[in-house]
């Protein structure tokens, strides 16, 4: 699925359009239902929000001459096959990519678009949970050095096996584990396939093979856009395995490769940088004789929701913001255009959408914050 543009940044994430508002409401229902392991086997009594969404959908369909879903399970089935651009929702293409669904057709799990949309606006919860969990971790660590050590552990180990804990062979840091272990839990039943847990061979996150077919055709992983042809990994007896919380897998771990690549480029070019605990992936770039620049690292499917997050985090006069995303996103003209249209221009100019490969060039392209030098790179 090509990335598109979900919701405006203020108030309701989908504006006043009723179909778009309903699509956003359903994203929150799907995200909540999946966290309760109930996407595949909903049973009475239904959660209140799911029942309210069904009632609203029934009225919405009847008002447009469409046959409405008869139950919450049927409503969720619709979310697997009905796209944002379907005549039912008519979400404007400059808000959400028209082919976006809320439930992945192969994985039967919330799509990344669904989780990003469910995090938008004042009712958002998923990314907000990740921020809250990391803030709690920072408080437990007591120092920036320990926090960075724990954060690095989480980004590199979304899955912890019994062997990791018992036979660390000198690499296991018990002090770190004591601080982060509350962020892990048992592998949910909905991610298991019998006595197996399937992992993507590229990103290492949970995956699923549709109807047990081999190969990448008909497969799903939480990253969704990993390259085809990489064999999946099997974890036997996942009851002895711990998995990082979903919100942290999606909003922290997925950006890990991009963050590591960006830091490597800064180090190679001898550009000074300093970790900032603000947000999930923030750094201050410091250069003698020039104003600080703020680097934020993300891996997001939907550029307008990304722009919304940047706008919300820019309170008052702030440093020039460099928004680092993977090449596949920054290299998509539609993604760049959507981001540029949605992001605010602050006191020091518009945030720069860049990649690890282009980061050093963009850092050096803005040597001062003097009026007239803030070129629009977004």
Give me the pLDDT at residue 306, please. Answer: 93
The structure's pTM equals: 0.87
Q: Which residue stretches of the chain have pLDDT < 70? A: 1-16, 37-46, 166-170, 210-218, 314-319, 347-348, 366-378
Burial of 279 (0-12, 13-18, 19+ CB in 10 A): middle
Give me the pLDDT at residue 350, please. Answer: 84
How does pLDDT run across 300-328, given as a tens digit for each residue?
999 999 998 898 876 544 567 899 999 99
Q: 3-state SS string over the chain?
A: CCCCCCCCCCCCCCCCCHHHHHHHHHHHHHHHHHHCCCCCCCCCCCCHHHHHHHHHHHHHHHCCCCCCCCCHHHHHHHHHHCCCCCCCCCCCCCCCCCCCCCECCCCCCECHHHHHHHCCCCCCCHHHHHHHHHHHHHHHHCCHHHHHHHHHHHHHCCEEEHHHHHCCCCCCCHHHHHHHHHHEEECCHHHEECCEEEECCCCCCEEEEHHHCCCCCCEEECCCCCCCCCCCEEEECHHHEEEECHHHHHHHHCCHHHHHHHHHHHHHCCCEEEEECCCCCEEEEECCCCCCEEEEECCCCCHHHHHHHHHHHCCCCCCEEEEECCHHHHCCHHHHHHHHHHCCCECCECCEEECCCCHHHHHHCCCCCCCCCCCCCC
Give me the pLDDT at residue 57, please. Answer: 93
Give me the pLDDT at residue 6, please. Answer: 38
Give me the pLDDT at residue 1, please. Answer: 40
How does pLDDT run across 89-128, given as a tens digit for each residue?
988 877 888 999 999 988 889 999 999 999 988 888 999 9
């Amino acid at each position: 699925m090509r990335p598109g543009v979900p919701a405006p940044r203020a108030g309701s994430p989908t504006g006043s359009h009723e179909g778009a508002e309903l699509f956003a409401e359903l994203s929150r229902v799907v995200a909540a239902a999946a966290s309760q392991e109930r996407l595949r086997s909903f049973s009475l009594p239904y959660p209140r929000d799911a029942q309210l969404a069904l009632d609203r959908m029934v009225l919405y369909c009847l008002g447009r001459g469409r046959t409405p879903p008869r139950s919450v399970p049927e409503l969720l089935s619709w979310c697997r096959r009905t796209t944002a651009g379907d005549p039912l929702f008519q979400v404007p293409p400059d808000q959400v990519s028209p082919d976006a669904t809320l439930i992945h057709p192969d994985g039967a799990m919330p799509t990344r678009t669904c989780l990003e949309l469910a995090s938008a606006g004042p009712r958002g919860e998923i990314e907000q949970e990740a921020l809250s969990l990391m803030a709690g971790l920072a408080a437990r660590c007591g120092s920036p050095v320990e926090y960075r050590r724990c954060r690095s552990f989480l980004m590199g180990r979304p899955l912890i096996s019994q062997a990791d804990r018992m036979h660390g062979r000198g690499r296991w840091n018990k002090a770190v584990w004591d601080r982060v272990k509350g962020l892990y839990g048992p592998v949910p039943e909905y991610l298991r396939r019998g006595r197996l847990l399937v992992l993507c061979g590229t990103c290492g996150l949970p995956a699923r093979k549709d109807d047990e077919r081999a190969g990448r055709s008909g497969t799903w992983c939480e990253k969704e856009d990993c390259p085809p042809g990489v064999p999946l990994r099997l974890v036997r007896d996942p009851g002895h395995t711990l998995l990082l919380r979903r919100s942290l897998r999606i909003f922290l771990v997925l950006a890990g490769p991009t963050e590591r690549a960006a830091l490597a480029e800064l180090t190679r070019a001898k550009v000074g940088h300093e970790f900032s605990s603000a947000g999930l992936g923030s750094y201050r770039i410091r250069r003698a004789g020039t104003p600080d620049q703020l680097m934020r690292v993300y891996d997001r499917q939907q550029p307008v929701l990304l722009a919304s997050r940047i706008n919300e985090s820019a309170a008052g006069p702030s440093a020039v913001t460099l928004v680092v995303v993977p090449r596949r996103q920054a290299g998509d003209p539609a993604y760049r255009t959507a981001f540029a249209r949605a992001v605010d221009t602050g006191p020091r100019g518009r945030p720069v959408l860049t990649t690890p490969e282009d980061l050093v060039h963009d850092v050096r392209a803005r040597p001062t914050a003097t009026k007239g030098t803030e070129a629009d790179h977004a």
